[in-house]
Amino acid sequence: MDLISHGLLGLVFGRGFNLSKPYRIMLIISCVIPDIDSISILAGFEEFFQYHRGPTHSFVGMLLIPLAISVVYAGYKRLPAQKFLLILSICLCGTFSHIFLDLITPWSTAFLWPFSDEGISFDITSIFDPIFFATLFLAFLFMKYKNVKKHIIMVFVIILISTNFGVRYYEKGAAIDTVKEVNDNIVMSMPTVRPDRWQVAVKVVGENGFTYKIYNVDSVHNKILSTTTVESFFTDYNLVEPPIDSPEKAVAYSQRDDKVKAFIEKAHLPAVTVTVDDGMWHLFWFDAFTSYGGMSSGMNVTVGIDGTLTMSFSVYEF
């Protein structure tokens, strides 16, 4: 979920439960602080893909971050044990809400770190959910009135948010069933900002690679609105050593780099194009789900015959 929505959640629930100002601040901080790893974007998108939603979004982070916040605050204020436990509970609720909301979006989260680096995502809603955001924003505005009953607003907020996610889960199943009527080789479904619009992908394996067919589905009317075809070759080869003298080797060798591996792991439908120029292999790794209108964002990788690797994150026109 986007950072502003996380902050709004802490603000609205803090007011709804009538927490004092210091406790509301602790809740808001704990709701947004797992995204401190987003600072990696200052080093470029390559680093961002490698480090975002890593340890600070794991179940270990979900426990240690609230503990650290509570110890620092309670120690600074010299609070008794009872109030320390209250602050710890508030901060645990904040970080838990952040990680839960991130898990139901498409960007994978390393929830099982340090035992596993595998990313987990349940693909129920988009990174920015307009219904979720609008519900919290309106609740925040209404709660500013002095005579309003904040606990009643909280009940409506919880009902609307739960209904929104429930509808999205149901519509995801409806979108998958719609595509199954024409093709049963479904590999993944992806939410959009609209609960009635879904992308459902089918993978067709060929001799030299594979093709993704991505269906844009109206789940309410059980209708396929459009289909996008994305071809990818040479993605399933084992690691090799230089000299890099074939596209297969270039693709395999590029996966040695941690930034490339991180991008591939974050991509839901990893695909690659390969060209050669003056003895240099030019690869473009991208997520097929982002390929519309002849353009996609992804990782440019240049591989030399001697194994030299250079890379940059950019937008590519097919």
Q: Please state, in angstroms and rounded to a whole number, the distance separating the CA atoms of residues 78 and 271.
A: 55
CA distance 160 to 298: 36
| HEC sequence for 181-196 | CCCCCEEEEEECCCCC
Q: How far apart are CA 286 and CA 297, in angstroms?
A: 6
pLDDT value at position 317? 60
pLDDT of residue 112: 94
Mean pLDDT, the chain, integer: 90
The crossing angle, in degrees rounded to 10, of helices 150-180 and 130-143 is: 170
From the list 318, 275, 277, the residue with the least C-alpha distance to 298 is 318
pLDDT value at residue 316: 63
* pLDDT value at residue 235: 63
Give dist(CA 179, CA 185) in Å, integer.
9
Confidence (pTM): 0.88
The verdict on whether omega for the bond into residue 243 sits within 30 degrees of 0, i.e. cis, is: yes
Strands 295-303 and 197-205, how do they pair?
unpaired
Listed by start position, the domains of the chain span: 3-122, 184-231, 236-317
Res 39: pLDDT = 92
Question: Looking at the DSSP assignment, which residues form a beta bridge with residue 299?
Answer: 285, 313
Read off the amino acid at residue 56: T
Q: How are beta strands 309-317 and 295-303 bridged, if at all?
A: antiparallel
pLDDT in tens, 85-122: 999 999 999 999 999 999 999 988 999 999 998 889 99
**Residue 195: what pLDDT?**
95
Strands 270-277, 223-233: pairing kind: unpaired
Residues 126, 105 contacting (CB under 8 angstroms) = yes
Low-confidence residues of the chain, pLDDT below 50?
A: none
